[in-house]
Structures are given as C-alpha cells and as structure tokens.
Structure 1
Amino acid sequence: MKRDGSVIGTLCAIDAVPYDFSEKEIKMIQTMSYYLSNLIELDEEIEQKKQAEELVSAHNLILTEIAQGQSISRVLNDICLKVEQIVKGVRCTILKFNHSTNNLQLISAPSLSNEFKDKLGVIPVDRNEGSCGAAAFNKEMVNVPNINENPMWVRYKEIVLKEGFQACISFPIFSSKGDLLGTFAIYYPKEKHLLDSEIKFFQQFSSLASIALEKKANEDKIHFIAYHDELTKLPNRLHFKEQVALAFNQAMLNAGTVALMILDLDNFKTINDSYGHLYGDEVLKELSFRLSNCILDKGMVARWGGDEFVLVFNNASDPFLEELSKQIIEEISKPVSFQGVELCVTTSIGISRFPTDGTTLSDLLKFADYAMYQAKDNGKNNFAFYTSRSY
C-alpha cells in the first residue's frame, strides 16, 4: 500500500501444508510488505521524474523550433516522434482541418507506413469516420479502446489492424479562438483504457500542435494579404512583379519567351456611375473568377489596379495567345447578374512579348498598354499584339 493509502498489490506467504503463522512471522511479512511498497513507490517516482524531465525537454525543443521558424512539417513530425519516444509502442498522427472541403488531411505520421498514409490521407469530418473524424465532428476527445469492435472504424479497420494497432485516442486541435485546426491521434498496439494522467500528458502535446498550426495559419494569412488583392483575391502587383522576374530568369536560362497581357474593361466607369461601387465591385469579383478559370495553370493573372488586369505566360505561342484572348473576350462579355440587374462590360487586350518587344517589365507593360489602346481604337472588345505601329 502506498503512503496515500492506495493499494498497489499484495504479498502472499504460502506453505504446502496447513500452518499458523506466529505474530512475529506476521509482523516480519508486514515489514517486508511495507519495504516492497516503498521500493515500488520510489521506482514509480523515479520513473515519473524521468518522464517529467523528458516532457520538459520535449516541450522546450518544440517551442524553440516554433520560435525559430522551423518548417511546420518538421515541428509536427518532432511532436509525434517525441511522444513515441516517451510512450513506448505508440504511433502518432496529426491531421489538418480543411474548411472548404470539411475534411481532415494527414500532414504528419513520421513512423507509419506509406500504405497507412495513403489509406488515411484524407478523412471526412463525421462521427463515423474513425477516432479523428469523430473527434473533429464532436469537437471533443474520442477514445476507442478496441478498434476491432468499434463501428466508427469500419472503413479504416483493415489497414489499422494490419499496421498492428488495436486502440486509438484522438484529440481535436483548436486555435486560441476556439476554431478547429485539426486532430492529434495516438495509436496503441494493444487494447488500451487510458488513465486521466495519460490523457493530460497527450493533451500537452496536442496544445503544442495547436501553437504550431495556428502560427502557420497566421503566417499564411499575412502572406496572402501581402501578395493578393483584397477585393478580387487575385495576386496583386507585388506578387505579379515577382512572378515576372522568375519568368524572365527562366526564359533567359532556357532561351525561352515571356508573353504579357494587359486587360482593360471597356466602359466600366459607367457601371460605377449608374449603379454605385457595390455593383462595380461585384463585377470585378465575378470577372476575376472567370479570368482565373480561363488561365488555370497556364500562367498568372493579377489585378493591376482599378479595372485593369495583367497576365503573364512562359513560352506561349502567338496562336495560343490569340485563342486565349478570344476566350477571355467571350467570357468577359457575358452579363454579370447582381441584385436583379444585368451588368455588361467588354474588354480590350494588349499583348507584348519578351524578348521580341522588350527585355524589362516596364518595357513590356508600356508596349502591352500601347497595344491595348490600339485594340480600343479598333472598336474595343478586341485584342492586339504590340507592333512598332501601336503608338
């Protein structure tokens, strides 16, 4: 029995024949029991102290990595590895919540097989989608002591049992504002009923994952704001200039070409004057969406300012640019419906090329601008390539 009165076991003295123990013998056994209790309790205290030291060391390492700006993948992998190092036999995963798809995406599982990662790479947020899907859905810890007998594991049971796991506990990871960021899961090789102390231990590492994920989300948000237009969410001037610089470098290294387009909306001012800027903003957002769908991964489109957009392409042929210009003109000319009003605009496009027309961004912008005004002079809703006669 421990000093706090809790029972840790029994000491039995057994003989092969009936025997009455004397008071002296009973006292000796009690003394031995007390001595063994102290040894066991001391051993537990040493183990707890060792684990506490490992915990502090792991926390300090992870927090240092976060403060130093280490990659999110390294930080999350180290969180998993530290838990696996301290708690022998377990394996850990961290999944990130995708708001747009309402799915969890596996982003850290350093000790698990590729087959496991493939099968559990994306998990819907739902009460019947394993411990992680349920933890994210219920927004609370989900402890499954026996995976084989739990119905929420039906879809994933085969691969998890094949990997050698019998139990799983998953914690939802929240931001400081209470928003769901993901899940932190611990897999056990045997059926497992966790103690409160073990749950608290894992929660500490879940909190570290929260700090890392929230920091990364904030950094991504700041980066997006710095490089994108607030209204249309398209890349802004800064982002576009950096992309053009990369395109120029690639073209010079590989004797390639760069094409630049400037789009200006014809008579857009009329919409703002007639209906107000709320309607004009809606037109800009819708047309930005259409432009992005026209371009896809062929190049980049950015909002240059006002009702003007710029596009850049590597190694684009003139026939490609002609067909794309026609497609864009057709898409832009379709009406935009907003609050019962059909809003119509057209666009004029000017095109210049590196190195044929110029070798700097300022030159290409200037010459594409000349070509765009030539398209307007030709009746608008048109496109033109830069030539020496464009100005």
Structure 2
Amino acid sequence: MSHFLLKPTLPALAVLALLGACQSNPSSTESAASKAADANREAAGTNDKKYLSEPLIKEIYTADPSAHIFNGKIYIYPSHDIETGMPENDNGDHFAMRDYHILSMDSIGGKVTDHGVALDIKDIPWAGRQLWAPDAAFKNGTYYLYFPVKDKQDIFRIGVATSKSPTGPFKAEPKPIAGSLSIDPAVFTDTDGSTYMYMGGIWGGQLQRWRTGKYDGSKPKEQEPAANEPSVGPRVAKLSKDMLSFAEPVKEVKILDQDGKVLLSGDNQRRFFEGAWMHKYNGKYYLTYSTGDTHLLVYATSNSPYGPFTYQGVFMNPVEGWTTHHSIIEKDGKWYLFYHDTQLSGKTWLRNVKVTELKRNVDGSLQTITP
C-alpha cells in the first residue's frame, strides 16, 4: 500500500499512515499507522499535514457521505462513526455504527446543519449489528433511506426506511429488501425516471460469499476468486415503482479493461472492492468505486446503467485513513466530490466527511484529485 510522510517537524513515528476504501481490512502496518497518527497529534498538539479540504462538521464523526440535491438544497447521508473500543480485524467488526445523522447545506462552502438522529438500529426490526454506509432517494412524494445492516444471522442485507422529510425521522420497513445483499447501496435515478440500486463490497462486505448466487459463509477466507480469475463485480437491480423492492433479479456488473476483458481479482489497482456510485454525464454512465486495499477512487464508463463498464482511470489518490467512500453531485453548473478521511482523529474508524470540486477534461474524463 502507499504511504505519505508528514512534515519532518513531527516525530519520525509519522512515516506510516492509514490510507484509502467504506469498511476496513487493516494489517498490522495499518494498526501501527493509526497509533503513529495518534502519537503525532499528541506530541505536536496539532496536525501539520496540509489537507485539500476541511471537515464539514467536527462535533461527531461521519463517513461514507452520500450527497443529493432535494428542492435545491444539498443533503448528505453519511454513516456515523463511534468509538467502541473493539480491536481492528479483517471483517471490520470495529465499525459498529448504530444510527444515522443527516446533514444539510444550502450551498458548497455554506453552513452545515446536523439534523440529529434520523434512524436508529434499535428501530429496525430485523437488524442485528453494524449500520454501515447508506444512501437516499426521493420519489412519489416520499424520501427513501437505504441502508446495509447485518441481520440476526450476521448476514448483510439492504433495508429501506421512509419519511416525508429529507431529514427524517425515517421509519424502517419490517423486513430487508428481498434479494438484497452485501453493503453500500447507491441509488441512481436515470433521465427516463427509472431508478437502480448498485450494491456490494468484498471482504467484510461479504460480496464474495454470494458467488454462487446463494450466501455461503462456510469458508469466508477462501471465497474471493484467485488472482488470475475474474474479479467480483458489484450488483445492480432496478427498483420497483414503490421504491421498496426490486423489480427484477439482481445482476452482476462487469468491469472490463480496454481490451474488453473482465478485470482480474489480483488486479487490485483497478478491480472493484466497494463503495460504488453512479452518475450520468453527456449521456454516458460513470461507475465510480473504491479499490479497497490500494485505497484509490477509480471510474469506468458505459452506455448502459447495467454495463458492462470499461475502466478509465484513477480520479482520487489515497486519503488519510484506510477507507475511502464517496459520492458525486452537480450543483450550480459544477461537479463536486464528497469523501472522507481521518483528519480529526487519525483513526481509520473515526472519520470526517469533506467535499471538493470534481473537474473534467473536455472529453469528459475525470481529473485526478490529490486530497
């Protein structure tokens, strides 16, 4: 993995840092990096590292920001990081989030309002633990909050909750969406009014356990494809008109290289890991996602919301912190990238959301951002 160096005025301990995907799979190196970041902050009394953007809020820890514009206003649907004291592990058990706060702002750079708890895990009848990265949509006069959470059998499913207000409170449906799986729901409404959900994340997100079409948790360490096999792609399904169920079977999204071949599992600089997002520009569909253990945000394009998508490149270099998760919106003629890092805490499980402008080249390709 990549590492950055903090300014030499800080202790040499700072050589390591946590970088880049929504859940974590930290190694001992990354754990040491987290401790190093803490030690640096304590020794210096501040963090001298220069950041591209500042946290949108500092009162609570937030991550995985899904941003949308409703009625001309920006609403951000992040996960809410908390300190649990749990040890880090490959399944991300230390990401034990329990509720959602919704943020809003009238414009980029404007005042950010925290609207408080919009949904709590105790109010989701089927939920077990780990309320991870959500998304939202508006249709039929109703706001829909989509969320991943492990059920009572410790299997990630996608649920949905509704409200008449974009800030909630939201009331959860009694059961998860039939056919849903894994994590990181991203809901995209096309120009023809059709709405799709993209979902999935490997490792702790369990997507590799669904390779046969049925959940198999018997040998979780052996289910990711071999390095020379096709990688596991995210899933997609069109939502029904009531936005509460899938209108069709879930399909796998294929991500191809420039030669038309599916990216291989061992190609961890390009293959899908988690955190998919969809937006459309000049009639073309842009699938953006995290590469996980290489900590990049990358993108692929297609002429169809179902793909296949052709890999195009990196649009954001690694942030501070192991995980990277984002969303993209257009506001007042400009495009913006919402993301997170660990500026406030130096701990990969205590993150803060940020925003920066996303620029394109004349041909529609995305310019690379260094956070």
Normalising to structure 2: TM-score of the pair?
0.22
Q: Normalized per residue, which structure has more helix? A: 1
TM-score between both structures, scaled by the size of structure 1:
0.21
If each structure's strand is expressed as a fraction of its own residues, which one has the higher value?
Answer: 2
Q: Tell me which of the two structures has the higher relative contact order, counting C-alpha pairs closer than 8 angstroms and 6 or more residues apart.
A: 2
